[in-house]
Chain A
């Protein structure tokens, strides 16, 4: 694929708003349409911060560099505008929203995409919801539960993928969606991602993970290693295998040197 990247992150620096130290210290990352990239890295290296800066979390403040999405300056956009443009982030820690059912939430999200005065067809929506829940082997009654309220860790992750499957983004940032899933659930989620990929070959995925095991199911084109706010190595799937064997020690040492 030699087309232009859909996501282009260059020399991105960011910090927690009103704090001094940058967490991201110059991140470069380009993802082309249809590519799957994985980011691995030790705890606290800035992976979630990168994901949240891409999604527009107000707690983080970019201090340098750029994030381009489909030719637009993402950093200038509100979180909802980014979502409308096709960005989706599956949260590492999904938020509980008491009293708001998944069905109501997703209906509102789809309605928000329509022009003023246009009404979502509720029958079509119901069909889509049921179809996607079946894909992820979720019980239909789940749709009536409040978003993430009292969900188990695995249920929360599956709910993130359900939203992704319904909103059908062009870039999906998945922040440790595999963490906390049992082996069966992991396969279901991986199968969900692969199905979406099949339906929409142009979807790009940025998959943040600590474990090789999901990469056995969702094959990455590129694997990046992030250490201390920078991407310190990029390569093929073999990079993940090497990490699994050797850990991050050599990167830390090299970085400290």
Chain B
């Protein structure tokens, strides 16, 4: 799909005070106030620079010119009932069964479907903007407060000021959603900036899985997609959150995710980065009650000049919680992968089990992987480990496969798929494994 260059006109919404006001025009007062406050924080917060540890390897000053971007204000999306773009439709067809679907085009929710029996049980799946305007009390309490507040940093502040729409999913106590709820997001405008949010609340002993997929054509100008993801799992709930980043080249994906796992709940995440030119994910998992558990999985495959940067933290606030992180990446061309992770065992969090592993496979001379695992331990009775590896394709493995008749190309493909596949096998959600595997194979064909 070719894209006409969109250069911001004077009338196009820019990142600025006026756009914040415009975005909030139809919002209730509390939300307008929250946007204004966030904007003030944004303005007072310096742009992260490579002088800070957390942004050392992703140079925003060089990679992102915020002033050039046209803010997707939710007014430019297709009309209700309009045909969805082909690539979006095709990827949706590849999804397995779903309990609910929500489609977001250029920062606006254009359709919502939810299994009727779930709706009858009180499950809410809706446009975040609609729900906020209707005054849902959960949103008022939880949106940009307890999970990803504006005070978290420059981009959380910008998102809280400028978000145009997003998803609200709430599953009442004891309700189980067997099949995944899926969000399919499409960004069409080159040079645009989309600010979107996800708020998921799994009440006590409920179960859900949520898969978010972001797609776009290739862009001739830097195009920003900024997400703020807030996930709450109350006592005994089981939640899986998956993000598939499959933007076209030129895409700049910037995600702020925080998960809050209460007593005896499970809150697992999977971040897959395959597309875009730059991807930066900040993920903070908070373990807030005994028996809480978070498996944190990540998979990235970069080629050409793709740049993926993951900044993760595992906060063991409560004693006797468990977290296990595994991020694996393959890097080809002159791609760069950065993983920076920290396990923080808070004071008194005895009986913590926390693990962190990052493994990288380098497929070319020019690809670079940087891995910075870290531990900060404030209790004595803990089991923690962290490890990082950066390696090349195992020549013995390739010979072994070739000695069975596989060409070098096929042997390499199999080894890379096997390497990355370990991540998928730990969170085998319907539709996700096949889709990601196919996307990796397609990328490997170009190698």
Contacts and interface: CB of A to CB of B under 8 A. Distances in A.
Contacts of B422: 98-99
Nearest to A104: B414
Nearest to A109: B404
A108 B417 CA distance: 13
Given A98-B422, A99-B425, A112-B407, A79 B402 contact: yes
B399 A79 contact: yes
A108 B403 contact: no
Contacts of A97: 397, 400-401, 414-415, 418
B330 to A, nearest CB: 12
Interface in B412-447: 414-415, 417-422, 425
Contact of A100 (B402, B403, B407, B414): B414
B408 interface: yes
Contacts of B417: 99-100
A167 interface: yes
Nearest to A78: B402
- Of A100, A105, A163, the most chain B CB neighbours within 10 A belong to A100
A252 interface: no
Contacts, number: 79
B47 interface: no
A88 B402 CA distance: 11
A61 to B, nearest CB: 14
A151 to B, nearest CB: 13
B340 interface: no
A83 B403 contact: yes
A99 B397 CA distance: 12
A97 B410 CA distance: 14
Contacts of A105: 401, 404, 414
Contact of A112 (B399, B405, B420, B421): B405
B419 A98 contact: yes
Contacts of B26: none
A195 B396 CA distance: 30
B404 A83 contact: yes
A97 B422 CA distance: 11
Contact of B404 (A98, A99, A167): A167
B419 A91 contact: no
A226 B307 CA distance: 54
Given A56-B403, A57-B399, A98-B422, A112 B410 contact: yes
A95 interface: yes
Contact of B421 (A82, A99, A109): A99
Interface in A87-107: 88-89, 91, 94-100, 104-106
A112 B418 contact: no
Given A97-B415, A99-B422, A108 B406 contact: yes
Contacts of A179: none
Nearest to A79: B402
B414 A80 contact: no
A79 B420 contact: no
B274 to A, nearest CB: 17
Contacts of A80: 402-403, 405-408, 411
B44 interface: no
B146 to A, nearest CB: 38
A109 B395 contact: no
Contact of A163 (B395, B404, B425): B404
Interface residues of B, number: 25
A83 B405 contact: yes
B394 interface: yes
The B interface, classified by DSSP as helix, strand, loop or mixed, is helix
Given A80-B407, A83-B404, A98-B419, A108 B399 contact: no
Given A79-B402, A100-B414, A105-B414, A95 B407 contact: no
A74 interface: no
Nearest to A90: B403
Contacts of B395: 58-59
Interface string A39-60: 0000000000000000111110
B328 to A, nearest CB: 10
A80 B414 CA distance: 14
A46 B422 CA distance: 37
Interface in B142-176: none
A57 B395 CA distance: 10
Nearest to B424: A99
A113 interface: yes
Interface in B307-347: none
A146 interface: yes
A219 interface: no
B415 A108 contact: no
Nearest to B419: A99
A79 B396 CA distance: 12
Contacts of A94: 400
A83 B421 CA distance: 27
B148 to A, nearest CB: 33
B400 A95 contact: yes
Contacts of B415: 97, 100
Interface in B191-240: none
A123 to B, nearest CB: 20
A94 B397 CA distance: 9
A191 to B, nearest CB: 23
Nearest to A113: B405
Contact of A84 (B405, B408, B414, B418): B405
Contacts of B403: 55-56, 79-80, 82-83, 88-89
Nearest to B409: A80
Nearest to B418: A99
Interface of B: 394-397, 399-408, 410-411, 414-415, 417-422, 425
30 contacts: A78-B408, A79-B403, A80-B402, A80-B407, A80-B408, A80-B411, A82-B403, A83-B403, A83-B404, A84-B405, A95-B394, A95-B396, A95-B400, A97-B397, A97-B401, A98-B418, A98-B419, A99-B418, A99-B420, A99-B422, A99-B425, A100-B415, A100-B417, A100-B421, A105-B414, A108-B406, A109-B404, A109-B406, A112-B405, A146-B418
Given A80-B406, A91-B400, 8 more contacts: A58-B399, A80-B405, A83-B404, A97-B400, A99-B421, A99-B422, A100-B415, A108-B406
Q: Closest 7 interchain pairs by CB?
A: A99-B418, A100-B418, A83-B405, A79-B402, A95-B400, A99-B421, A109-B404
